Structure 1
Amino acid sequence: MSSPEDLTARARIRDAAIELFADRGVDGATIRDIAQKAGVSSGLLRHHFGSKEGLRDACDEHVLHELTALGNRFIEFQVVDRITPDTLRMQRYMTRSVLDGSPAGQALFDRLIEYGERWFVTTDFKVADPRAFVAVLAVMKMSMLTSRDQLSRVLGVDTGEPEGWARVLRASLEIFSTPLVTHEQADLARTALDGLFPSEE
């Protein structure tokens, strides 16, 4: 997760926290657990980050920066050559953080959507509701991470590891590149939805 020159005590603590938060959730990882994994004292952890929430904020910033720096892409298919165990761990961390129901998790999700909207305007996509498009796409991707146990069981490979995740991405590519409904069917469904729930626009 860190380059050799970045293995300061602060970086070790942050990386240990990301790994434990990804595996156990923020509530499931104690200050003591994180300090022990990082090879430091609990006092040093508090010196650098103040509290577990302060540490979580630092982890959020680091993970968001690292993942968005993968090529400034919102759809992962464009950076599949950079899928590593560390990248998958950060993705699991972000998903757990977003879904834990905390204000910090909600704020992180809001930032993801804002990033997705900035990405969207660089594309040629033409959709009626860009914000909904970005939000649903983000949640669909997170669901592939939250369903790791079920996917791993039915596919017979750990989808939390690069080889298994590659199989998930291959299936995702098939889904995204194969129209499941015709244009005519989509238009009929939109008309029906508009009749039931008129758009505010």
Structure 2
Amino acid sequence: MNREALQHPLYVMVHPFNGYWDLKYERSQKTSLIISFGILFMLILTNVLGNQYSGFLVNMNNPRYLNSLLEAVYVLVPVLFWCVANWSLTTLMDGEGKFTEIFITTCFALVPIVLINFPWIWISNFISAQESSFYYFFKNFAILWSGLLLYVGIMTVHQFSPSKTIGTILLTLLAMAFMAFLTLLFFSLVQQMIAFVSTIYQEIVLRR
């Protein structure tokens, strides 16, 4: 993996159209996939460190009850749901993007969140209540920047028009909500089945 490949996520941040075009047609997909997993890992790390070490003025979490595995799930599940939902919909809408390309595009769009939020984990420990507005400004700015990159990436990878890309993103969000509902329903059903089996087992044991 050469230096240029490692710098490409930064290039995508400031030149999204050219950057995503290179990702789809010019860059090695294997190298881009490795970098994407690295970005996703950094996002998980930023999320965990932010909840653990951010200043008390902006951190509403109790570090004693922080579960790093759950924090990782809170990052991985939305990314996975987004990629699956977008791939499923765009397959029906004549999109040109493969699942791997959607995943790479999504991960590269998350770079601003990692780069902007990471230093604010430590800066937030030294700011006053009046200065906390800067913290929230930069967090929101990072989300907006990532959203713009994701929009350009989806439009480029599928070769959609701007209006069709917006419609696709809205449908993807609806599909994600539906997937989340089905997942919760499934786990609720499993939980009830386990409770039912446990109750029957206890009844049998007690009657003996």
The structure with more radius of gyration? 2
* TM-score strictly above 0.5: no
Q: Which structure shows the bigger proportion of residues in helix conformation?
A: 2
Q: Which has the higher contact order (CA 8 A, sep 6+)?
A: 2
